[in-house]
Structure 1
């Protein structure tokens, strides 16, 4: 499991350092070009709502892969991380408004991660032992890992979307 986690971290770092090359890939420019002619490219409420929905859909996909497929964590790392980065690159490339409105769009879209952190905190605070003497330390470890991964995803999303295009 540690090797898979380290491989995912290295894979994410490689993708982040090569994001300018990925942004110029034809399908990213084609998708973002189609969105540039819509209200999605300059209205931060609509774009933020779509980004919120995209983050929720990507999280749901990762959840389904992780828990319902054998060897889901390996497949999830190989699929969900690049898919998330490509989605965030499309949102970066399609934006035509001001940088201030782009920050607002990212804050609205990444509020999904804040809601998820809030839900995890509520769930952890209301967690009770299943039987007397149940060790709650593993629940705490899961909570801490969830907070770390969610904060990391939110930070990477902000980093990718808020970078300068050229």
Structure 2
């Protein structure tokens, strides 16, 4: 499990380093970039940030629902495929939003901060639950619950930073 998180983190760091090259390939003649770029409301950093916040929430809860449904199937390792697909779709949509939005660097940071704050909230909730973790009955070992909360905090923190860097620091170029 640690190795999967480590390799996933290394992959995300590489993706952040090469985000402009990836963005150029993804955004060429992309109809979603063109449609969002033409929307007047989307050029407001607060509205675009709120739409990114909502998009992150929808993707998170949709993935969680699919993973919950997969608990009832006996297909091994399919949850890993679903999680990898969720990461790919999220990064793709973040790049699309980055390419479609035009504005100043400060407003881009506002867009990224508002949109990625969904994952910051989840990170804070995970850390709070980890700190206030108590046994539900006398003698219960809370180690595995702590490990689960630690991993959820780590994953949501990585998602926060990745979303913020892709949407807040990338330079948007209209193709």
Q: TM-score range by the shorter chain?
A: 0.7 to 0.9
Q: CA deviation at 1:26?
A: 5.2
Unmatched runs of 5 consecutive residues or more in structure 1: none
**Contact kept in structure 1, 2:49 and 2:114, CA below 8 Å:** yes
Give 1:89 shift. Answer: 0.3
State the match for 1:9 in structure 2.
9
The alignment of Structure 1 onto Structure 2 pairs a total of residues equal to: 166
Counterpart-to-counterpart distance in 2, 1:6 and 1:72? 20
Ranges in structure 2 where 5+ consecutive residues have no aligned partner: none
Question: Which residue of 2 is the match for residue 78 of structure 1?
Answer: 84
C-alpha contact 1:41 1:97 (8 A) present in aligned 2: no
Identify the match of residue 170 of structure 2 among 155, 159, 163.
163
Cα contact 1:12–1:81 (8 A) shared by 2: no
Root-mean-square deviation (CA, aligned residues, Å) is 2.5
Identify which range, 63-72 or 40-49, moves more after superposition. Answer: 63-72
User: Displacement, 1:136?
Assistant: 1.7
After TM superposition, list the pairs within 5 Å mapping 1:1-166 onto structure 2.
1-24=1-24, 25=26, 29-69=30-70, 70=75, 71-125=77-131, 127-161=133-167, 162-165=169-172
CA apart distance, 1:127: 4.2
TM-score relative to the length of structure 2: 0.79
